[in-house]
Structure 1
Amino acid sequence: MLFLDDSKMKNFTSCFKDKEFLVFFFKRIRPNETDRYVEFPYISLCGRERNYIRCDDTPLVFTHVRPAENGPGDIFCYGHAGDLMHLPFEPDKLFMCPTTGRVYHPCEERFGSVGLVMSKLAIEISPRFSFENGENRPPTKFQWKDKLHNLDNQWYFKYRS
């Protein structure tokens, strides 16, 4: 969810909900490479306005998976804008961090290449993970649509150490 930084209450009632605005905002997110407001790692340029962004983890949060309309596979929707913003869902690229339980999926470089899976969705899909190397290590397999996927975690470690 997207909030003003100085919002005291950060919940559904105080977040931005207009889907057109969210699409506009998210399409302009990129790393903050300016010398201003370095505590905000991302920026969204909206005309002359500069929106500096900080996040608890990643600027992109995946909210739901649904079948692709044109073609095989599924899409991973993000940004709380319904189905308006999405990337291809790659079940073999899911990564669950064993220390935090957070689940990640690859995303565009401008978002930092690592997107967070919303907690509610991560909890829903967590029973589909298999831990062949023990529960203190990342999962090794993921069951999705009658197929058992071997997980490729290397992409995650490329961007996060």
Structure 2
Amino acid sequence: MRVCVGMTVTRLSCWRTLALFSRGHCMYTQGQSPEPRIREYFYYLDHQGQLFLDDTKVKNFVTCFKDQQFLVFFFKHLKANHSNRYQQHFPFVSLCGRERNFLRCDDQPVVFTNLLPETGQGARLSYCGGGTKLNVAFQPSSLFMNPDSGRVYHPAPEQLGGIGLVRSALAIEFSPHFHYSAGQDSSAQPTHFQWAGQRHRLTNELFRHFALK
């Protein structure tokens, strides 16, 4: 029998509520079985990179998932939801054997939470609580500040859309390194990012993800 690493924790948590949950026109029950031997669960990722059961009423650090083994498994198997089930409300799904774990997000399915200590591979950003097991190379020139929201973004794995949100605490750490055109303040679009003794010109390549909306 195949065992999904970390999913046992999720299952035990899910059975605390068997009531039908409705989000707009989307209705589900945590742990529902639409087909024999199939289980479906529903999750929410906030803008700080914290993962919750979608129907958790109070979403904070106390109620989010913290087990790193579970988080790594969940996000490594995450992909776009093309299952024809709940696609409008839950655009991503993490499959584990006979379990379908649907995910909706406050912003992006990848939220960068920490800058890891630099090694021979250079600086890396970890995401969604995965530490060294979920990370990408830090690309200073590819940072993008959305002029509408002020949120900061960085390239993410392509299978997850190619763009990730930098959580607010990390974005604040980055803020002194942004440079602006002469006469502009921090409310304008930055042009450069100073990092490791180098002045990187920002490409704003991630703007394409917002231009398409």
Q: Identify whether the pair has TM-score above 0.5, normalized to the shorter chain.
A: yes
TM-score by length of 2: 0.71
Superposed, 1:89-104 pairs within 5 Å as: 89-104=138-153
RMSD: 1.5
Q: Distance in 2 between matches of 1:57 and 1:112?
A: 12
Q: How far apart, CA to CA, are the structure 1 residues paired with 2:106 and 2:157?
A: 18
Percentage of identical aligned residues: 50
Task: Name the amino acid aligned to 1:112.
Answer: G
Counterpart check, 1:30 vs 2:79:
yes
Which residue, 179, 184, 204 being the options, matches 1:130? 179
The residue aligned with 2:91 is 41
Aligned to 1:153: 204
Moved over 6 A (4+): none
TM-score (norm 1): 0.92
Whose radius of gyration is greater, 1 or 2? 2
Ranges in structure 1 where 5+ consecutive residues have no aligned partner: none
Partner in structure 2 of residue 65 of structure 1: 115
Distance 2:109 2:169 in 1: 17
Partner in structure 2 of residue 52 of structure 1 = 102
C-alpha distance in structure 2 between counterparts of 1:34 and 1:145, whole Å: 44
Distance (whole Å) between structure 2 residues aligned to residue 68 and residue 158 of structure 1: 29
Unaligned runs of 5+ in 2: 1-49
